Chain A
Amino acid sequence: MAIESRDQTKVGPVRRFAPPLAAVLGLAVIGIGVSILADRNAATNLLAFIYEALGNTQGALDLRNGVGDQLLAKLLLGVVAVFVGVAGIWMLYVGASAIVGLLSPKWQGRILPWVFVVPAIALLTFFLIYPTIGTIITSFTVQTNGDPLAHFKALTSPAYLDLLRNNVTWLIVGTGGSVLLGLLIAGLVDRVRREALAKTFIFLPLAISFIGASVIWRFMYEWKPEAQTQIGLVNAVWTGLGGEPVRWIQEQPINTFALILIFVWLQTGFAMVVLSAAIKGVSVEVIEAARLDGASERQLFLRIIVPIIKGSIITVATTIAIVVLKIFDIIYVMTGGRNGTDVLANRMFVEFYEFFNDGRAAALATLLFIAVLPVMFINVRNLRRQGIGS
């Protein structure tokens, strides 16, 4: 798999000393950059410093007092960040690999790969691996009143069981709804002209954030007393059909489904695009043969196409299920978890951020982690099957 480097040409003094210099410079750029940036007031400090150097003391003073060119300061900070993040990191890689290049070929081969992977591994260790272990430990040790299992026992109380039930509802209806609608629409648009245009309409919501979509649907679900004009489309249609106006996001249990609909609206486009690609992969011969045998269009779709693209359907369902499991924004923004709509990720945030109950929050996070473990194992196993992870 690997290829041997044969870089054994002689290097002159300049090329000999340039690499270590680049490495030191890279470290310096990153070091200085980080020391400037690691401050809440980094932006204003930076621009104020420049203003002072330019003799604009008034401008610098304004900035430090929280007025003046605050936005310019922020943009400058962003530019510095991109510069430090890109130039600094590149110099580091260039310098480090060049230093390694000075070693004997044998040692080069041993060390160079680590130069390439260590920055990534370090970041992953610091931000994901260590915290995962830390969170699990926290869930057994913090605010437990002496019983390591206290938080997990608490999760079996009725309040939390409601929450789990909501997550299951989300998982089934949210995932099922997106996948089935996506499949249906993929099957339909496959048979019309201007397929790409039709898909654009369904796909567009994917560009919209959960919170943006929440505002859109808050307005759709807007409720007014019966005597007033309904300005929310859903209630306008509903009352137009003779119903009484419904508080879609307050009334249980309809509210959970109203929230799930927002998610389905966002994610159907994703399912549709993937499944549409899969449908196009079904061979024309198979379809023609089925037609010759007298299969109706519905039979063709359900008995021939769907079984063939089963793999893609499972992939899409898994992907969406993982997103559903961690659903936070919609609940947080629409109901704050009230009226029986709470879910794991929202409660985790509330326990952590508002109640400062780290132990309980960690237990909730751990529960989410356990729920994705099967997917994790399957992914890694597939990798090994392809002969990569061995």
Chain B
Amino acid sequence: MTAPARTVERRRSFAAWRPALLRSAPLRIAVVAICALWSVPTIGLLITSVRNPTDITTSGWWEALLNPFKDGQWTLGNYQAVIASEGFITAFINSLVVTIPSTVIPITIAAFAAYAFAWINFPMRGLLFAVVVGLLVVPLQMAFIPVLRLFGQVGLNGTFLGIWLAHTAFGLPLAIFLLYNFISQLPRDLFESAAIDGASHFQVFIRLVLPLSVPAIGAFAIFQFLWVWNDLLVALIFLGTGAEQRVLPSALNVLIGNRGGQWHLLTAGAFLTMVVPLAVFLLLQRAFVRGILAGSVK
């Protein structure tokens, strides 16, 4: 179901058998062109976000690249404007406050469950694990109506606690599945010798399983972090659109609604929502790829 992430990193040189012809110019030009094509939209956004508002509406952003030294065309004012008047600082903090607990909390709960599913015999184990795997692909749309109704009864609508719980639960099937795949592959000898030494399941879990599972936990954490950070739908449903509760995607959504044509604000706002995931991507590229690959069954 998930791709073998390990092979992504394996480098194999084809140079030995690759005919020289293949390294020819057309191929390389095609690859460079594709890469350029893929980057142009993002670059356009970034450049526009630091151009002055009049220039943005009167000339294409690519023209700024043609004469980059024209006086007064570069500015950080768009960012100042969007931060000062559109609540992006609050939204940024809200995004952090929503995302970090929603990433951290599921890990413990999932790890305990994954260990039990992998290495302890108990009745209905197979059935329960099949349920977890089945839940992997259930659309979140199936959860909203009843959960919101229940939240309304206990006063959790619009609270951070509500969205933490929701994101935790929605992330659990994937977390359990990933950690199970990893933990069940640990060598059996490890557990047998630990049992002979008199270690309880709990001790085995703490001292052996958790430390060994760090790569899988990291992969899940990155995926969940990105998923929650970039999520608009769950935030709209459980936090609502109130100015105090908005996360970055909601704030950007409101900005699009209110200032649809004001590209200097929109581009700066959009870049602010993207800066953390892009930083994660650039700093932790390998782990990021692992996380995306691991999490893509969702």
Cβ 8 A contact of A86, one of B93, B108, B273: B108
Given A7-B198, A120-B110, A277-B7: A319 touches B161 (CB 8 Å cut-off): no
CB of B273 within 8 A of CB of A372, answer: no
Cβ 8 A contact of A278, one of B3, B117, B244: B3
Cβ 8 A contact of B34, one of A188, A205, A361: A188
Q: In the complex, which residues of chain B have a beta carbon less than 8 angstroms from the beta carbon of A326? A: 139-141
Q: In the complex, which residues of chain B have a beta carbon less than 8 angstroms from the beta carbon of A280? A: 7, 10, 12
Query: With the chains together, A19 CA to B136 CA distance in Å?
Result: 35
Asked if A34 is an interface residue, CB under 8 A from chain B, the answer is yes
CB of B145 within 8 A of CB of A131, answer: yes
Asked if B274 is an interface residue, CB under 8 A from chain A, the answer is yes
Cβ 8 A contact of B147, one of A2, A114, A121, A131: A131
Cβ 8 A contact of A389, one of B97, B129, B245, B296: B129
Asked if A256 is an interface residue, CB under 8 A from chain B, the answer is no
Query: With the chains together, A212 CA to B226 CA distance in Å?
Result: 13
Q: In the complex, which residues of chain A have a beta carbon less than 8 angstroms from the beta carbon of B81? A: none
CB of B230 within 8 A of CB of A209, answer: yes
Shortest distance between the CB of B179 and any CB in chain A (Å): 11
Query: With the chains together, A123 CA to B102 CA distance in Å?
Result: 13
CB of B278 within 8 A of CB of A207, answer: yes
Q: In the complex, which residues of chain A have a beta carbon less than 8 angstroms from the beta carbon of B109? A: 89, 119-120, 123
CB of A270 within 8 A of CB of B134, answer: no
Shortest distance between the CB of B132 and any CB in chain A (Å): 7
Shortest distance between the CB of B32 and any CB in chain A (Å): 8
Q: In the complex, which residues of chain B have a beta carbon less than 8 angstroms from the beta carbon of A287? A: 17
For chain B, the count of residues having a C-beta within 8 Å of the partner chain is 145
Q: In the complex, which residues of chain B have a beta carbon less than 8 angstroms from the beta carbon of A131? A: 142-147
For chain A, the count of residues having a C-beta within 8 Å of the partner chain is 139
Query: With the chains together, A376 CA to B94 CA distance in Å?
Result: 34
Asked if B76 is an interface residue, CB under 8 A from chain A, the answer is no
CB of A89 within 8 A of CB of B105, answer: yes
- The binding surface of chain A is classed by DSSP as helix
Q: In the complex, which residues of chain A have a beta carbon less than 8 angstroms from the beta carbon of B215? A: none
CB of B236 within 8 A of CB of A74, answer: no
CB of A123 within 8 A of CB of B169, answer: yes
Given A131-B143, A231-B59, A365-B144: A219 touches B130 (CB 8 Å cut-off): no
Cβ 8 A contact of B136, one of A42, A366, A379: A379
CB of B116 within 8 A of CB of A127, answer: no
7 CB contacts below 8 A, A to B, read A3-B191, A6-B196, A101-B200, A116-B116, A191-B27, A202-B34, A219-B267
The 7 closest A-B pairs by CB, nearest first: A209-B230, A127-B169, A134-B146, A2-B121, A116-B116, A113-B122, A78-B97
Q: Interface residues, chain B, CB within 8 Å of chain A? A: 1, 3-5, 7-8, 10, 12, 14, 17-19, 22-23, 27-28, 30-31, 34-36, 38-42, 44-45, 48, 56-62, 89-90, 93-94, 96-97, 100-101, 104-105, 108-110, 112-113, 115-117, 119-122, 125-147, 149, 154-156, 158-162, 164-166, 168-170, 172-173, 176, 191-192, 194-196, 198-205, 226, 229-233, 236-237, 244-245, 249, 252-253, 256, 263, 266-267, 269-270, 273-274, 277-278, 280-281, 285, 288-289, 292-293, 296-298
